[in-house]
Amino acid sequence: MTESLSGDSPAPSADQGVGLVVVSHSRTLARSAVALASEMLHGRPLRIQVAAGLDETTFGTDAVAIMQAIERADGPAGVVVLMDLGSAVLSTELALDLLQDPSIRDRVTLSPAPLVEGLIVAAVAAAGGASRAEVAAEARDALMGKSGHLSAPTDGATPDAGEVNAEEVVGVFSVENPHGLHARPAARLVNEVRALDASVQLRNLTTGGSPVPAGSLSRVATLAALRGHDVEVRASGPQAQEAVEHLLTLAARRFDETVEETAAPPAQVRASSISGPLPASPGIAIGPIRRLTAVPVDLHQEPLGEPAAEWRRIVESVAAVRRDIEHVRVVTAREVGAEQASIFDAHLSLLADAEMLADVKTRTSAGIGAVSAWAGCLANVEREWASLPDPYLRERAADVHAVGDQVLRALTGEPAGRMTSHGVLVANDLTPAQTAGLDLGLVTGVVLAEGSPTSHAAILARARDIPVVVAAGPEVLGIPEGTTILLDGSSGELHVDPSPELLAEYERRAADAAGRRAQQLALAEQPARSRDGISVAVAANLGSVADARAALDAGADGAGLVRTEFLFLDRSAAPSVEEQSAEYDAIAEAMDGRRITLRTLDVGGDKPLSYLPMPQEANPFLGQRGIRLSLEHRDLLRDQMAAICRTARDHPTSIMIPMVSTPGEMIEARQVLMEAAGSAGLPQGLHVGTMIEVPSAALKIEAFLPYVDFVSIGTNDLTQYALAAERGNAAVAALSDALDPGVLQLIDHVCRAARGRIDVAVCGEAASDELAIPVLVGLGVRELSVSPPAVPRVKAAIRELDTGRCTTLAEEALTLAGADDVRKLVLAMLEEDEG
């Protein structure tokens, strides 16, 4: 991520001075340092760019982001780069290699100055017109004043500072980790060393091996340090004493690794059915078990470029893989746990391993192509790890292979895994990207050992009409490939190697379902009216123009939710009013005159956005999300609302405010909307509404009614907050059910207050749940917004309902104890109606 923190400064021009780039592991630290330095400038313009952190909360540095920051800060007078600790220096050096224009590289000075003090004096010097050499010199001497003030009086007994720093500090620790110094504790050690200003060497005293640099994971792993081995730590430099003490303390804590039993391989499943799975996406799928298989990367058919170009390819690919792994690590920590996520630390350390990267660069300099250079280096490291004496440590060579393979695939564009034959995909879990890339010509259904019905992967699967069962447990991973498996994504039923009778029954059900889908699609253009003549609008949730076209084809009555944050996810800078309006117009035109509801940016928590800075928070789900974050960035909100007003002048449009907790937030949002509308005033026909996602908003609905034309209940978040069960967390997936009577009572409270005054819609996943639809209609909901493929099915379900019976059903559901009881009640009613 790069950003300019001198927003009032004019664009770089020939008469401006030296530009500055701040590289830090922490985005918060970098911003604060720039803010402090800016106080010293008294309004004088200065180009300062920041390349800090991998996101708002994750520490790290990114060579590509640093390169972009240097390019933006560059001018005729050049650039001075200030860095904090460890890998920030390495990443910056890699960034220089990435620069396409060698003249820019020649104008860059990397400063060894301390980050904060150096930045302050460098900013003052640069704003005063000093040359690049003068700015760098000022930064380098930044600590002289502090040193002079704090230094003790010298006498003959005090050693020279240089002599103190040159002395080595030595310590010894005993390895207490059950599996020795394997990938995770080794990665923790390496990362701690890289953050210190010290040169640290390690040696296995028990085996008598040679010393290795402690900042290189590939070398630390070759220590083959098992439980009970003694390891010597030898450090020199300004923080040598601190380094040794810190590593000895860390070793005594087993590098904070929890003691776990060695995981046994999954047993072969022989039972005819598996207990515990959860339904995630409706539909029946039958077929042989298939797994994602990767096509090997061809290491011998690559075009050779100039050595500099080949090295640049490697650096760009490494940076891309780093970003992917950091994202996976954050998601894993949130959804599975920090201990499980820490395995990715070893992967990240390998990608920043200075010795390994130096080996690769040497190979490219010798004329070897990028793919062969990377593969050759990683093969050597993998062989070293595979030759270690301990079997557990030998297995960790898989980490090297996994990371190496990711970079090779980034270099070649070869996908990481694909299904090569028709069947049911069985996997531990899927990322949203993997789900989006599934070949619908091959995948008949998906079974996941982990996962949640409300995960983003499950939402994508529903949007793509793929039957899915989740939380099936690790035993499914032990079923041999090719075994017939049967799944029902509506009930969560899962059968392995079903009997001929069961297979025939489900094949009949699948054929009946296919026939019903064809009939539903044929009637999709018609309105959804219940048996007693009550109309219920069925709209679509959209995230793109393509979604809008699919929704129109599916018979949607409108767009009940347009997730505007999805439209510009790949942007590093905020889109202009014109760009946003053009996207909204395209969606409106694709919907052919039907009303579209544009939700303002709903980011934060589990939905970061690269161009919108977010604070680091202990619990992002309860922090700056939705309208709270937008009101902190009023210029962005005002621009978005201005774009919505433009679209509303030509198309039926509604604006919806997310994550509202108090009427005051709604009032403030309407004030910004009035500012955005300008002298022309609000467009005629623009409806203003809010999402009801927070229990307090549902309970205080009367206070909101004067300020809204409609409300839409987001059952995903409302359920999450009402039941204190984070969506996406497999451990509480069964608890997070919108049919829990506690959630239904909140919906009932909203519908009773709104009746006859404003419309109430539901845009969460419950809107497409066939067992939830009768209850929602009975409570008074008159619009359901669902994924485009679900529109025909939901309309068909409504046509089978009698709203009087639904009202009676809903009243009884409110009195029950749990979601399971509600589902049984609804199922009994539907079966009675069918009979």
End-to-end CA distance of the chain: 60
Separation of alpha carbons 397 and 406, rounded Å: 14
What does DSSP assign to residue 562? Answer: E
Separation of alpha carbons 268 and 285, rounded Å: 22
What does DSSP assign to residue 48? Answer: E
SS3 sequence of 264-307:
CCCCCCCCCECCCCEEEECCEEEEEEECCECCCCCCCCCCCCCH
Separation of alpha carbons 314 and 655, rounded Å: 45
Here the tokens at position 529 are: 């009216």
Cβ burial of 217 (10 Å; 0-12, 13-18, 19+) is buried
Separation of alpha carbons 662 and 670, rounded Å: 13
Cβ neighbours of 596 (radius 10 Å): 27
Separation of alpha carbons 743 and 722, rounded Å: 6
Tell me phi and psi for residue 662, to 5 degrees.
-135, 155
Taking alpha carbons only, the member of 799, 833, 769 closest to residue 490 is 769
Between the alpha carbon of residue 348 and those of residues 243, 280, 352, 403, the distances in Å are 21, 32, 7, 9
Listed in sequence order, the residues at least 6 apart from 250 whose beta carbon sits closer than 8 Å to its beta carbon are 188, 189, 192, 256
Listed in sequence order, the residues at least 6 apart from 110 whose beta carbon sits closer than 8 Å to its beta carbon are 81, 83, 89, 92, 93, 96
Catalytic pick from 347, 456, 495, 651? Answer: 456
> 147: part of which helix (H) or strand (E)?
helix 144-150
Q: Are 564 and 600 in contact (CB under 8 A)?
A: yes
Separation of alpha carbons 451 and 435, rounded Å: 12
Catalytic pick from 377, 751, 763, 806? Answer: 763
Q: Are 478 and 270 in contact (CB under 8 A)?
A: no
Q: Are 594 and 556 in contact (CB under 8 A)?
A: yes
Sheet containing 199-204: order of strands: 169-174, 230-236, 199-204, 212-213
Query: What is the amino acid identity at position 790?
Result: A
Here the tokens at position 608 are: 């970061």
Active site includes 763? Answer: yes
Taking alpha carbons only, the member of 312, 325, 320 closest to residue 409 is 320
Cβ neighbours of 189 (radius 10 Å): 25
Separation of alpha carbons 324 and 404, rounded Å: 14
Place of tokens 């509801």: 597
Active site includes 751? Answer: no
Separation of alpha carbons 485 and 778, rounded Å: 37
Catalytic residues: 456, 763
